[in-house]
Structure 1
Amino acid sequence: MRLLVVSDSHGSKDELLDLSEMYKSSVDAMIHCGDSELSADDPALSSYLIVRGNCDMDARLPDDLVEKVDDHTIMVTHGHHYGIKMSLMKLRYRAEEVGAQFVFFGHSHSLGAEWINGTLFLNPGSILLPRGRSERTYALVDTEDQEINVTFLTHDHVVLDELTQTFS
């Protein structure tokens, strides 16, 4: 399985359209973790599984998504309802309730990946307004056999080698 994960684009359509064009035929799903600030029917979002962030006004966007992708259960949320800036505890409990093996979220604009009790928790950072780093980022998640590889890339598709992680 291969997933593209992006978040916090805050009205910027160009990056989303660029990612869609670049990856639409090479990933199993494209995920947006909220704060697009676009309407649910905006063409820039048409390729994405997307949730509603705290800056999104369109109530047609769901707060959370739980989807099966290639026999894996993924949960997508923005994170503000789970207090992710303080702790991943509430999010972890929710992931356990829905049986998620992958949890994708945004909100903090800070990238990171963590393996907790057999579940990958990933924040791709922000494709527009990063915090903690200068690079605007997104992530690719690849599964192969029993390994999960997480690669963070800049908005202009440069791999951040020092942040690449493998979980098993």
Structure 2
Amino acid sequence: MKALIVSDSHGLTMELQILKDRHQHEVDIMLHCGDSELAITSKEMSGFSGVRGNCDYDSNYPNDMPIPFGGKQILLTHGHLYNVKMTLMNLRYRAEEVGANIVCFGHSHIADAELIDNILFINPGSIRLPKMRKERTYAILEIINNEAIVTYYDLDGNSVDQLTLRTSL
């Protein structure tokens, strides 16, 4: 199974449509980790499961969303309510509460994936305002049996190989 993961698009519309057009037929689910700054009913957000970030004013977005995926459980959240710019500990506790093996979050605009205490944390970075890298990034998570492969791409669809993570779940 494959998931497209994007975050912190901050009002971009054409770019979200490009990602949908590029990947919608190869992924099983499309996730937006918040700060789209778009209405949940917008054309650009159709097809995405999305959550509310600190810059989202549409209260129809949930703060968190548990999603079953490939025999695993994803916790989709923005991260601002868990202080992710300082620590992932609060987010780890929330993942444990909902039984999540994978957490997809944004807020910091820093692309990274790491396994902590058998929980895979994925931040796709930002397709508008990246931090710590020049590339505007998003990620694709693939689950094959008990292996997770997180591949990052720039907005043009080129893989950012330095960020790729393969790990057992």
TM-score range, shorter chain: over 0.9
What is the percent sequence identity of the aligned residues? 49
Deviation at 1:115, TM superposition (A): 0.3
**1:101-112 mapped onto 2 (5 Å cutoff):** 101-112=101-112
Deviation at 1:69, TM superposition (A): 2.2
Deviation at 1:116, TM superposition (A): 1.2
Which residue type is aligned with residue 167 of structure 1?
Answer: T
Deviations 1:34-92 (A, max 9, x none): 00000110010001000000000000011110111233211100000000000000000
Deviation at 1:118, TM superposition (A): 1.4
Return the alpha-carbon distance in structure 2 between the equivalents of residues 24 and 158 of structure 1.
Answer: 17
Which residue type is aligned with residue 29 of structure 2?
Answer: A
Classify the secondary structure of the residue corresponding to 1:21: helix
Deviation at 1:125, TM superposition (A): 0.2
Classify the secondary structure of the residue corresponding to 1:36: coil
Match of 2:72 in 1: 72
Which residue type is aligned with residue 112 of structure 1?
Answer: D
Deviations 1:114-168 (A, max 9, x none): 1012111010000111011111000011111221111110011000112211111
Deviation at 1:21, TM superposition (A): 1.1
Return the alpha-carbon distance in structure 1 between the equivalents of residues 163 and 57 of structure 2.
Answer: 33
Deviates more, 1:82-91 or 1:71-80: 71-80
Match of 2:124 in 1: 124
Which residue type is aligned with residue 98 of structure 1?
Answer: V
| TM-score of the pair, normalised by structure 1 | 0.98
| RMSD, aligned α-carbons | 0.8
Match of 2:91 in 1: 91
Classify the secondary structure of the residue corresponding to 1:106: coil
Classify the secondary structure of the residue corresponding to 1:151: strand
**1:16-27 mapped onto 2 (5 Å cutoff):** 16-27=16-27
- Determine whether 1:138 maps to 2:128: no
Return the alpha-carbon distance in structure 1 between the equivalents of residues 70 and 143 of structure 2.
Answer: 10
Deviates more, 1:6-15 or 1:65-74: 65-74
Return the alpha-carbon distance in structure 2 between the equivalents of residues 153 and 135 of structure 1.
Answer: 8
Gaps of 5+ in 2: none
Gaps of 5+ in 1: none
Return the alpha-carbon distance in structure 2 between the equivalents of residues 3 and 101 of structure 1.
Answer: 14
Classify the secondary structure of the residue corresponding to 2:44: helix
Which residue type is aligned with residue 111 of structure 2?
Answer: L
Which residue type is aligned with residue 117 of structure 1?
Answer: D
Return the alpha-carbon distance in structure 1 between the equivalents of residues 149 and 157 of structure 2.
Answer: 17
Return the alpha-carbon distance in structure 2 between the equivalents of residues 46 and 31 of structure 1.
Answer: 11
